[in-house]
Amino acid sequence: DGGITQSPKYLFRKEGQNVTLSCEQNLNHDAMYWYRQDPGQGLRLIYYSQIVNDFQKGDIAEGYSVSREKKESFPLTVTSAQKNPTAFYLCASSIGRLDRAYQPQHFGDGTRLSIL
Amino acid sequence: AQSVTQPDIHITVSEGASLELRCNYSYGATPYLFWYVQSPGQGLQLLLKYFSGDTLVQGIKGFEAEFKRSQSSFNLRKPSVHWSDAAEYFCAVASGSARQLTFGSGTQLTVLP
């Protein structure tokens, strides 16, 4: 079955350390997204990518970085510059292109990041 | 800029009772509107969507929502709630060239036996 796989499910970061969250999709979707979820705040967009080798900042990109070297993969790095990284991170994908019928975003099961 | 407001942080209903979750949006053009549901520690599952046409849309699990342009609302309803409906519900609007989603802050639903 097609879907989005996020790994790991739980991740712990030490002070000053960078960590990378994995997101892989086999839905043949062009667009991919990273969201951060905090209690009582809904989901906020970190980065998104509409095509390979291109990505755009979302509302809260500071302290994060991404890459899009393959259509199927959109890893998120939480850098040491992100001072409050404890959150639930969700990856999503969609067809995304304006020349194709819009379809809603599909979500992975998330990665919970905590600070040691 | 677009925004989504879910005025109710937490709602409690008894099993078998009806449910209405409120959602108001702010968006200049015709919106793409969604309701998602999230169980604890899980991702988001799409309940239903509105793109255009009939303003009453049917979704999965017996949910429906009505788009009211004059009120900028997209409220979610279910005539009879089941214990398994306990979860967090998010309303969202899609915009921008990449159809980025803007989410409301969510409504936590508790179902009493």
What pLDDT is recorded for position B52?
A: 81
Provide the token pair at B38.
């999230």
A79 pLDDT higher than 60: yes
Which distant-in-sequence residues (6+ apart) come within 8 Å of A64 by Cβ? A34, A46, A47, A76, A77, A78, A79, A82
Q: How far is A4 from chain B (nearest CA, A)?
A: 10
What pLDDT is recorded for position A103?
A: 72
Residue of A nearest to B10 (CA): A40
B58-87: average pLDDT: 96
The enclosing H or E element of A38 equals: none
Asked if B99 lies within 8 A of A31 by C-beta distance, the reply is yes
Asked if B97 lies within 8 A of A50 by C-beta distance, the reply is yes
Considering only CA atoms, which of B57, B51, B38 is closest in space to residue B94?
B51
Average pLDDT over chain B reads 92
> Are A42 and B105 within 8 A, CB to CB?
yes
Q: Chain B contact for A31, CB < 8 A?
A: yes
pLDDT, tens digit (0-9, with 9 covering 90-100), for B94-105: 876 667 889 999
Which distant-in-sequence residues (6+ apart) come within 8 Å of B94 by Cβ? A102, A104, B31, B32, B33, B34, B100, B101, B102
Residue of A nearest to B107 (CA): A40
A67 pLDDT higher than 70: yes
Of B34, B41, B42, Cβ closest to residue A104 = B34
